[in-house]
């Protein structure tokens, strides 16, 4: 994820670095050395800059895009929960720690349109497997009384990380005060 990019855009090498990593790390033994070579700097400098960008919040985290189907996981369900707002952080952490959950996050409710405020994704080799994992999660976490819906995927879209720094922008920085999220 990329956080506030205000300081990020002021440094051309930082922008080029973000552009280099936003598409994924190279699948080589030393990915940071490969990026350093591409940028004309050292591996130590790449790591130092990434650590600094993480520390100041310009990069919030590195994420992985997993192509679940290629790994044999054919069923995917987003489970949406209607959790009391006072308990949502605690319940979210509890759900997020379960091995069957690949992501868990809170979103604002949309009064009159969407009452759910907690979302988690469960992948499985079959629909039945996903539902079994969900039932085990509900029992283990004591969520029997929390309203939820299970939304199974019908089709898969292209899976890749978002791109927030274009090649042109990396060489010609533009002031920006937005908060961006890269999944």
3-class SS at 151? strand
Spans of all domains in the chain: 8-64, 68-152
Element (H, E) at 76: strand 75-81
Q: Which residue has the higher pLDDT, 99 or 178?
A: 99
| Confidence at residue 140, expressed as pLDDT on a 0 to 100 scale | 96
pLDDT of residue 167: 55
Burial 60-86 (b: 16+ CB within 10 A, else e): beeeeeeebeeeebbbbbebbbebeee
Average pLDDT in the 109-129 region? 95
Q: State yes or no: pLDDT of 2 exceeds 60.
A: no
- Specify the CATH class of 68-152 in words: alpha beta
Given a contact cutoff of 8 angstroms between Cβ atoms, the answer to whether 103 and 135 are in contact is: no
Kindly report which listed range (3-17, 62-76, 96-110, 128-142) carries the lowest average pLDDT score: 3-17
Dmax (CA) of the chain: 57
Radius of gyration of the chain (CA): 20
Report how far residue 35's alpha carbon sits from residue 16's, in angstroms, rounded to the nearest whole number.
10
Q: Is the pLDDT of residue 128 over 70?
A: yes
- Which ranges constitute the DSSP H helices of 10-126? 12-22, 31-39, 43-56, 88-96
Q: Does domain 8-64 have CATH number 3.40.30.10?
A: no
Is 90 exceeded by the pLDDT of residue 152?
Answer: yes
pLDDT digits over 15-74, tens only? 899 888 887 888 899 999 999 999 999 999 999 999 998 888 888 777 666 676 777 777
The stretch 2-14 carries a mean pLDDT of 62
Residue 90 has pLDDT above 80, yes or no: yes
Lowest mean pLDDT among 7-16, 57-66, 161-170: 161-170
């Amino acid at each position: 994820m990329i956080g506030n990019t205000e300081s990020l855009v002021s440094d051309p090498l930082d922008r080029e670095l973000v552009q280099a990593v936003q598409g994924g790390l190279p699948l080589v033994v030393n990915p940071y050395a490969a990026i350093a070579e591409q940028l004309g700097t050292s591996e130590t400098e790449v790591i130092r800059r990434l650590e600094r960008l993480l520390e100041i919040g310009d990069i919030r985290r590195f994420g992985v895009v997993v192509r679940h189907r290629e790994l044999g996981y054919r069923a995917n369900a987003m489970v949406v929960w209607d959790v009391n707002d006072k308990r949502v952080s605690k319940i979210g952490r509890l759900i997020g720690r379960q091995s069957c959950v690949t992501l868990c996050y809170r979103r604002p409710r949309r009064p009159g349109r969407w009452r759910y405020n907690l979302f988690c994704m469960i992948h499985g080799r079959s629909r039945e497997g996903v539902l079994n994992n969900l039932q085990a999660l509900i029992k283990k976490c004591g969520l029997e009384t929390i309203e939820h819906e299970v939304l199974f995927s019908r089709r898969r879209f292209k899976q890749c990380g978002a791109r927030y720094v274009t090649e042109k922008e990396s060489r010609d920085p533009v002031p920006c005060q937005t908060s961006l999220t890269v999944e």
